[in-house]
Amino acid sequence: MGEKTLFNEATRLTLRKGQILYNQDDPADGWIELRSGALRLCHYYSDGRRQVLAFPVAGDVFGLEAGFRLSSAEALVECTVVKHRHRGDWSRFSPRPTPAPASHPLERGLALVQDSLQFFGYPTAAGRLGAFLIEFARRQGQGDRVDLPMSRLDIAEHLGLTMHTISRAFAQLARSGLIECVTPQRIRFPARSELVRASGFEAMALSDLRIGAA
């Protein structure tokens, strides 16, 4: 419990479902590497509204803020994380050369946030949700299904929509044959679903999906 690398101190932690890893405005004393499970990064406005910034899953990196936390990190299920402490400055952030550039913690952390922006390129609810499901399935590493550890409300506040619209969008995607809702949390992509072929930042018919459509 407590690995040592050349410059950083790493601590392994286990979180129970619902447990909060850190709160918004806490001092940011380290960045996080998620080994298993899934979290929710939320920013709370003073009027009570909530913005879900990202849903880290196993392999993701987050909490890269310096200074104070911009969001809180809340466990959606039981999680294993490794916390890498730093001391307020970033001078020792890069402890070792990385053989594969794409897997460096810095890039993964940046990508996690940047990916969230892409959803807003889709004007309709069904398009946004479809893009989100594809992206989340890709990050889960399962090609033909998704296990959603978050609630409909979480998804809604991540995509800038309401829970009702999200629910309707699920129904519409299912009617279109693009997804299959086994349970509310378990979604399957039928074999020939166009969704499977599409990848994150790529364009597709999602732009044309409407709630009203068959």
Partner DNA sequence: CGGGGACTTGATGGTTGTCAAGAAATGTGG
Partner DNA sequence: CCACATTTCTTGACAACCATCAAGTCCCCG
Contacts with a second copy, residue ranges (CB under 8 A): 43, 45-49, 51, 53, 64-67, 70, 88-94, 96-99, 101-102, 104, 106-107, 109-110, 113-114, 116-118, 120-121, 123, 160, 201-204, 207
Cα separation, 116 vs 52, in Å, equals 10
Number of residues that bind DNA (CB under 7 A): 27
Which listed option, a second copy, DNA, none, makes contact with residue 201 (CB within 5 to 8 Å by class)? a second copy
Number of other residues whose CB lies within 10 A of the CB of residue 65: 15
State the residue for tokens 């969008």: 169
Structure tokens at 2: 């407590």
Find the helix or strand (DSSP H, E) in which 30 lies.
strand 30-36
Considering only residues 125, 134, 173, 178, which one is a binding residue for DNA as defined by CB under 7 A? 125
Find the helix or strand (DSSP H, E) in which 20 lies.
strand 20-22
Which listed option, a second copy, DNA, none, makes contact with residue 213 (CB within 5 to 8 Å by class)? DNA
Q: Is position 185 an interface residue for DNA (rule: CB under 7 A)? A: yes
* Nearest CB to DNA, comparing residues 73 and 156: 156
Q: Is position 210 an interface residue for DNA (rule: CB under 7 A)? A: yes
Count the alpha carbons within 13 Å of 82 in the hemisphere toward its beta carbon: 16
CA dihedral 120, 122, 128, 130 (to 10 degrees): -140
Which listed option, a second copy, DNA, none, makes contact with residue 7 (CB within 5 to 8 Å by class)? none
List residues near DNA by CB under 7 A.
123-126, 151-153, 160-171, 181, 183-185, 210-213
